[in-house]
Amino acid sequence: TEPSLTSTAAVSSWPTRLSSPFFPFQNSVLMLHGSLSHRGRSLSLNPTGYTSFWNDCISSGLRGCMLVELALRGRIQLEACGVRRKSLLARKVICKSDAPTGDVLLDEALKHIKETQPPETVQSWIELLSGETWNPLKLHYQLRNVRERLAKNLVEKGVLTTEKQNFLLFDMTTHPLTNSTIKQRLVKKVQDSVLEKWVNDPHRMDKRVLSLILLAHSSDVLENAFAPLQDDQYDLGMKRVHTLLELEPEKESSKPNANELMWAVVAAFTK
């Protein structure tokens, strides 16, 4: 199986500015060697260790990250189009391989997808895995305490620590950064992808980098990565991000070497 998303190798291998790709999910998932969900979670944390109370997007964003990660690892895919081409969001997600990934959360999601008949769409899986369903018979699909479980994995590897902070009427467990270098490298990776290393073609970008940017924007945490930039860099970076956001997932998914499920997840969040 692939190295665990929380393995020591995963943390120590997260790329430097000149290394290959992110979310990134060394080479692909392993260029940054951590999963998209770990990177999305890292970007969502401010220096004090918590995500804004007003951020209600990160939960579904993390589930989207998991689906992309499973797709890029060759575990899931969209059903075949058929004679009458269905839209990305109308096609069902099917299990391509049930080989363990080495990550508990990914394997938990994969098990649900494999065992579910009839299959569900990408949009449905994002809702089911995040618990955003009104069907009481499907509540068991929810992946619970995802943010906390991801944070604990990062605590075990020395990236975060655990503290109690008082917020007026109650205490909250937070996870401040103890190893800021790793997050700085991640942030630099995201910044460089739309500044110094901008290629003006989404299909020449690493799929995990591209996915991270788009899903981080949809989860309202991309600002965390761009906040340290100078004004002119910020404006240019955001302009290029919006160029990516304006892409048509249906069109992009039909291009050579595109991952259809990745684009379906993008469509679920950006269209």
CATH class of 25-36+51-270: mainly alpha
Which sequence spans correspond to the domains of the chain?
25-36+51-270
Q: By the 8 A CB rule, do 257 and 203 touch?
A: yes
Closest among 200, 154, 219 to 7, alpha carbons compared: 154
d(CA 239, CA 229): 14
What angle in degrees, to the nearest 10, is found between the helix axes of 122-129 and 58-72?
130
Query: What is the C-alpha separation between 177 and 180, in angstroms, rounded?
Result: 6
Question: pTM value?
Answer: 0.76
Q: How many other C-beta atoms can be found within 10 angstroms of the C-beta atom of residue 173?
A: 12
pLDDT tens-digit profile, the chain (271 residues): 443 333 333 333 333 222 222 222 222 222 223 455 444 444 544 444 444 333 345 778 888 989 999 999 999 999 998 767 889 999 999 999 999 998 888 999 999 999 999 999 999 999 998 887 777 778 888 888 777 777 777 777 676 677 776 666 666 666 566 666 777 888 898 899 999 999 999 999 999 989 989 988 888 878 878 988 999 999 999 999 999 999 999 999 999 999 999 999 999 998 7
- Please state, in angstroms and as integers, the Cα–Cα distance from residue 86 to each residue in 62, 74, 91, 117, 182, following that order: 26, 22, 6, 19, 41
| H or E, element range at 163 | strand 163-167
